[in-house]
Amino acid sequence: MKLAEQIKVVENVIDDLKGENIVTLNIMKQSDDMEAIIITTGRSIQHVRGIANNVSSEAKRLNMPVLGTEGTESSEWALVDLGEVVVHVMTEKTREFYKLEKLWSIDKDED
């Protein structure tokens, strides 16, 4: 499955579950291991868990690689590693604290 198709699958799952403020970042220049990061906000720990679990389930159903998941038990931040795409689902407070969009949006070529 092509990168654009993988991203669309993840975005659709998040949208179906009412994930908020979905941001997709192309990070091919910043990382050798992954090509895109998708970040979204869940309204509660349970919502974060539900989004992450559903992303993982849908990816498996479509034979996308699921290399791992973290934080789905009781965390304010869950991660689903799909190889080329890494999904971060966070509560609003956690997302504001870590500011992943800002971290990954830095243009490394300017250094």
Give per-residue pLDDT as tens, 14-58: 999 999 999 999 876 676 677 889 999 999 999 999 999 999 999
Q: Which residue has the tokens 């559903």?
A: 54
pLDDT tens by residue, 58-106 = 999 999 999 999 999 888 999 999 999 999 999 999 999 999 988 877 5
| Gap between the Cα atoms of 15 and 70, Å rounded | 21
Domain ranges of the chain: 3-106
Cβ-Cβ contacts under 8 Å for 43 (sequence gap 6 or more): 18, 20, 91, 92
Which of 49, 56, 45, 70 has the alpha carbon at shortest distance from 13?
Answer: 56
- CATH H-level, domain 3-106: superfamily: Beta Polymerase, domain 2 (3.30.460.10)
Helix (H) or strand (E) holding 25: strand 20-26
